[in-house]
């Protein structure tokens, strides 16, 4: 075991989802034809889905084009920190997603669409900042 192995722990899928369920802010990342975009969003995790509402044309264009969406969530408390990354293809449901009603937005602006990400991959790491 190396010193790094003592400080960084790989989270299993259930541990990742536990953290995703208790957090509310993520960064959504995706490629456009011109660049790589990273945009903060408020979200809600429901079962094994991540749901957010947006009016961003850039996000909606990426979703409608079927581009891979990556959502990253992290937190720290001074002793430990963790990071979870969820990847997959998102979609816009045909009807307003019930979960979207529970989202508390950083910006109280009207949202044009609800986006649902059902990740094909969820990975996470826990960083022990208190270890020697």
- Report pTM: 0.85
The residues, ordered by sequence, that sit 6+ positions from 45 with a Cβ below 8 Å of its Cβ are 17, 20, 21, 23, 51
**pLDDT tens string 81-98:** 999 999 999 999 876 655
Helix (H) or strand (E) holding 29, with range, is strand 25-31
Helical (H) or strand (E) element with 72 = strand 68-76
The pair of structure tokens assigned to 107 is 């910006």
Say yes or no to pLDDT of 28 above 90: yes
**Does residue 60 have a pLDDT over 90?**
yes
C-alpha distances out from residue 100 to 24, 89, 95, Å = 12, 18, 11
Percent of the chain with pLDDT over 70: 80
What is the arithmetic mean of pLDDT over 23-32? 94
Quote the pLDDT of residue 93.
87
Region 37-55: mean pLDDT is: 91
């Amino acid at each position: 075991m190396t010193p790094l192995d003592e400080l960084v722990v790989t989270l299993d899928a259930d541990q990742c989802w536990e953290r995703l369920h208790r957090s509310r802010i993520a960064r959504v990342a995706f490629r456009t034809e011109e660049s790589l975009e990273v945009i903060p969003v408020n979200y809600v995790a429901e079962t094994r889905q991540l749901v957010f509402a947006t009016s961003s044309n850039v996000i909606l264009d990426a979703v409608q084009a079927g581009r891979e969406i990556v959502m990253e969530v992290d937190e720290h408390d001074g002793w430990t920190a963790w990071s979870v990354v969820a990847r997959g293809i998102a979609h816009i449901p045909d009807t307003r997603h019930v979960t979207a009603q529970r989202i508390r937005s950083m910006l109280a602006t009207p949202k044009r669409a609800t986006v649902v990400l059902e990740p094909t991959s969820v990975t996470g790491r826990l960083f022990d900042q208190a270890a020697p």
